[in-house]
Amino acid sequence: MSANTKGRLLLTAQGMNSDHWTRVLASGGRDVVLEPAAGEDPSIDYAVLWRYPHGLLKRLPNLKLIFSAGAGVDHIMSDPDIHGMHANVPIVRVVAPNLTQHMVEYVLWRVMDHHRQGAFYRHQQAQRTWNDTPQPTTDRVTVGIMGLGELGRSVAAKLGALGFNLAGWSRTQHELPGVDCHAGPEGLTPFLQKTDILVVLLPLTQETEGMIDYDLLTNLRQDGPLGGPCLVNAGRGRLQKEADILRALDDGLLKEVSLDVFEREPLAEESPIWQHPRIFVTPHAAASSDPDHLGPLMVAQMEAFERGEPLKHLVDRARGY
C-alpha cells in the first residue's frame, strides 16, 4: 500500500463533477488524484471509474480495489486489463438507496404515463381536441420486469402497491411476493406473452447485449387493455436494437416506448428516435450518481478493506455483474 495508510485513490469519471467527487472522497484525509503519474504509477491503491479510457489500468500495477462510479459495470468488464493483469482485483458495484429511489421514481413515472394514456392526451392537447379514451385500472394491466436485482425488486414493490399485476424475468430463478417469476431461456416467452408494459432493468453482459430485438418484441401480449404493449428501457442502451424497436412500432407490435438509454450516447442528432411520435426520450437521466450519497459508501468500503473486513456488493466476474 502507498505511504498514506489510507491508500491513494485515482478518480477517473468522465461526464461527472470531478471537483465534487474529489471533495467527498478526500474528506477523511485520503489522497485523491485525477491522473496517474506518467508511465506506471505504483502509488495508486484504489480506483473510482466511469467511462474511463481503456489502457489506463495497466499503468496501475499495485491496484487493489476498483469502484464503479455509476450503476452498471459493463464499462469496466469490457476492459481487457480487467481480465489480464488485474484479474484478481475486486470490483465493487454501486448499490445506494438514493440511486435506487431515483430509478424507482423514473420507472413509476413512465409506467403510469403509458398506463394512463399520457401520449394520447399530449397529442390531443397539441391539436386542441377534447376527447376521452378508455382508462383500464391497474389490476387489468401486467407490468413485466426484466432484471430482478436490487432495482427490479424495488420497482416491483412500488408497482405492486399500485395494484398492477407483476411478472418478472431473470437469468436465474427468483421468488418474490406478488411477482410471477420466470427464469432462463425457457421462461422468457411465457413471461413476455403476459406482459402489457415491459420494463428493462437488466445488466449488460455478453448474454444480454442486443437482447431487446424484434423477435423478442413479437412475443409481447397484443390483446391487452392498453391497446398494445409498451416498452420502458432504463437499464443499458446496448441491451436494445433501436432499429428493431422502430420496426416494431411501425409494424404495430409496440404501442409506445420510453427510452432513457441508447446504443450510442449521446443520441445522434439525425436519429429518427428524436422525432418519433410514440417514443419518449430522456438523456440517460433516470438515476444520476450523487457523490454526497455514493462517496461515503465507497470510503466506508475502503476502510473496511484496510481493516481486512469483507466487502459488500462485489461483482461476480463469472456473471459479469
Among all residues, which ones are annotated catalytic?
236, 284
**What type of residue is 112?**
M
Taking only Cα atoms into account, the Rg of the chain, rounded to an integer number of angstroms, comes to 22
Neighbours of 293 (CB within 10 A): 15
Q: What is the DSSP string of 27-67?
A: TTS--EESSPPSS--TTEEEEEEESPPTTSGGG-TT--EEE
Which three three-digit cell numbers place residue 41? Answer: 504509477
CA dihedral 279, 280, 285, 287 (to 10 degrees): -90
| CA–CA separation, 118 and 134 (whole Å) | 12
Largest pairwise CA distance in the chain: 71
Please name the residue ranges forming H helices in 128-177: 150-161
For residues 61-100, b (16+ Cβ closer than 10 Å) or e, as one string?
eebbbbbbbbbbbbbbbebebbeeebeebebbbbebeebb
What's the distance, CA 53 to chain centroid? 21
| CA–CA separation, 316 and 93 (whole Å) | 10
Which three three-digit cell numbers place residue 22? Answer: 474529489
